[in-house]
Amino acid sequence: MTYLRLGFAGSILTLLACGSAGAELEDSATNDPGASAGASAGGGAGGAVAGGAGGATATAGAAGKSGKGGGFVATGGGAGEAGAGGQAACAKTQAAATKVPIDVIIGVDQSGSMSDDIANVKANVNKLSGFLDKTKLDYRVVMMAKVGTGKYDVCVPAPLGGASCASKPPTFRTSNQLVASTNVLSLFLSTYSVTSGDKQWADFLRKDALKVFIPITDDNSALKAADFDKQLLAKPGGQFGTAAKRNYVVYPVMGAPAFPTETPKCGKNAVNTGAEHIATAKLTGGKWFPICLTDFGPVFEEIAKTAASKVACELGVPKPPSGSTLDPNKVNVVYTPGAGGAEETILQDATKPCAGGANGWQYNDDKSKILLCGATCAKIQADPSAAVNVEFGCETKIVQPE
């Protein structure tokens, strides 16, 4: 067996080249009659092959003709070699599927009624990032509030925050802006790309990331939810999506009871239920949380869990090695439970739309993403530390049409 080491999507992958004189081909690599790995009928004159005419190849022994490539189609390079009388096989490589990143933007009301809530935020905000760490998501956090160590200031402690209440690139950014009772949504808009001071955070976001807004206030918003949405979507660059497909979600922490209940106020210290904040959550598919809790730890963990589930079922397809292109018909998706256990190959289900009853995985329109559908999606969402890998080189295993 010959091994080729390939750089792939930031990882080193092993390409198995199956077959040699007298060698036994691996059972897991026999479902692709198009790829060839030859074993010589003679005394070792035949060579080993993986990828053949397309993609990565390994050769040994006398020259022979090769079959089709493995999971990659060549855009250049010589043909692989195979001995006479070889058996059909496929060469597999595997890479971790890339989850959609998350950019979190928190805004904290710093009015006089919020002193206990501000202390609660500072004591527990690291539980938000701690849960996101467990999911292995690529995340960033922006904290919009007046920075400092006073009673009404917000200083985010380590490990999320930097020394002396500072930003901590590339994961954490402060937006040093005093927030009043009813203007947190307005300030999300105005600080986004402001050019003066240390308030702006537009350059901190990633266009492909899901944006998660967390306004924390015991009051309502003076800006209507519909106006916030319209102005946010109008920001240049398409960071926040469109009205047809928003790329942001809002999880307010405010004076209403726990989701989905909207009234009455959650406690005597809340100013009101925050109807406009509730409306932003409804508009974007988010949920809300009561500010009256004495411990925000479970709130931040639940927000992180819910946000992570939003991106769990949409995975990026890793790029093929330089000089090759992907063969989309030789891709499989493999799930490994977060608690350990046997891996499971998820079947491709293109018999129905993902939102129309499919159960398995399928490509998006341009085949740049893998979409998990139905019960498969639910399983991954319930297992935030699961590993989902993309396996290249063997014929795609599919759900057969009924």
pLDDT confidence of residue 19: 36
Distance in angstroms (rounded) separating the CA atoms of residues 89 and 107:
56
Distance in angstroms (rounded) separating the CA atoms of residues 315 and 388:
9
Q: How many whole angstroms from its chain centre is CA 333?
A: 15
For the stretch 152-191, pLDDT in tens is 999 999 999 999 999 999 999 999 999 999 999 999 999 9
pLDDT confidence of residue 305: 93
With contact defined as beta carbons under 8 Å apart, do 35 and 393 qualify? Answer: yes
191 phi/psi in degrees, rounded to 5: -85, -15
Q: How many CB atoms lie within 10 A of CB 139?
A: 23
Q: By 3-state DSSP, what share of the chain in percent is helix, strand and coil, each rounded to 5? A: 20, 25, 55
For the stretch 323-355, pLDDT in tens is 666 889 999 999 999 888 899 999 999 999 999
Residue ranges of the chain that CATH labels 3.40.50: 100-311
Please, is 224 exposed, middle or buried when counting C-beta atoms within 10 Å of its C-beta (0-12, 13-18, 19+)? middle
Q: How many CB atoms lie within 10 A of CB 103?
A: 24
Torsion-angle region of 136 (φ positive above 0: left; ψ -120 to 50: alpha; else: beta): left
What is the CB-side half-sphere exposure of residue 379 using CA atoms within 13 A? 18
CATH architecture assigned to 100-311: 3-Layer(aba) Sandwich (3.40)
For the stretch 364-398, pLDDT in tens is 998 889 999 999 999 999 998 888 998 888 999 99
Distance in angstroms (rounded) separating the CA atoms of residues 177 and 362:
44
pLDDT (tens place) for every residue of the chain, 402 residues total = 333 333 333 333 333 333 333 333 233 333 343 333 333 333 333 333 333 333 333 333 334 333 333 444 433 333 333 344 443 467 677 788 888 999 999 999 999 999 999 999 999 999 999 999 988 899 999 999 999 999 999 999 999 999 999 999 999 999 999 999 999 999 999 999 998 789 999 999 999 999 999 999 999 999 999 999 999 999 999 999 999 999 999 999 999 999 999 999 998 889 999 999 999 999 999 999 999 999 999 999 999 999 999 999 999 887 766 666 688 999 999 999 988 889 999 999 999 999 999 999 999 998 889 999 999 999 999 998 888 998 888 999 999 887
| Token pair for 163 | 């020394």
Q: Are strands 324-326 and 72-74 parallel, antiparallel or unpaired?
A: antiparallel
